[in-house]
Amino acid sequence: MDSTTIFIAVTAFAVILQASILVAMYVAMRKTSAKVEALTEEVRTKVLPTAELAHSMIVELRPKIESAVSNASETTAMVKAQMQRLDATITDVVDRTRLQVIRADELVTRTMDRVEDATEIVHQTVVSPVQKISGLMQGVTAALEFLMSGRRRQSEPVQQDEMFI
């Protein structure tokens, strides 16, 4: 056989092979196309209404969400300002209370010192002289009793019978 015949036979075989590959690709494409069409139909019937509902809800809720965010921002600013005022007030109250406690401590300390001083003065001016006078009076009383009892002994003889028991 000659080279032209072999060339034509190989070319014919290559063309038939190409044609069969194209037919196989066409059949595969048809199957894939049918599946895509079914999937597209399912997306149209199920997903698109849901997406449209979500979109309409977002459109309706957007002003409300913006309002809520704005209100939250304003509320946060007000709460922050109030907390700063409260902090300043509490700090002032604590400082004043601390000052009053210091003053009360100083007052109690001064009062206790004065009470101790007054007690010492009372002891020196009243109790000590009263004790001295009391001691003097006891001494005078004892002397008078001694003197009075000594006279009684001399004037009244003690009987021996009374002493015997």
For the chain, state the CA radius of gyration. 63
Residue 32 domain-assigned?
yes
* 30: Cα within 13 Å, side-chain hemisphere: 6
pLDDT grade for 125, boundaries at 50, 70 and 90: confident
Count of domains forming the chain: 1
Is the pLDDT at 161 greater than 60, yes or no?
A: no
Residue 140 domain-assigned?
no
Average pLDDT over the chain, rounded to an integer: 87
Count of all residues that appear for the chain in the document: 165
CA distance 12 to 10: 5
Residue 160 domain-assigned?
no
CA distance 93 to 90: 5
pLDDT at 112: 93
Residue 120 domain-assigned?
yes
pLDDT at 18: 95
CA distance 124 to 132: 11
Distance (Å) of CA 165 to CA 54, 83, 161, 162: 129, 99, 8, 7
- Please compute the mean of the pLDDT values over residues 63-88 and round it to a whole number: 93
pLDDT at 87: 94
Residue 155 domain-assigned?
no
What range defines the domain where residue 117 resides?
A: 3-124
Both structure tokens of 43: 């997306």
Residue 103 domain-assigned?
yes
Higher pLDDT, 20 or 1: 20
pLDDT at 158: 52
pLDDT at 94: 94
* 153: Cα within 13 Å, side-chain hemisphere: 6
pLDDT grade for 159, boundaries at 50, 70 and 90: low
pLDDT, tens only, 37-48: 998 888 888 888
pLDDT at 99: 94
CA distance 25 to 23: 5
Is the pLDDT at 152 greater than 60, yes or no?
A: no
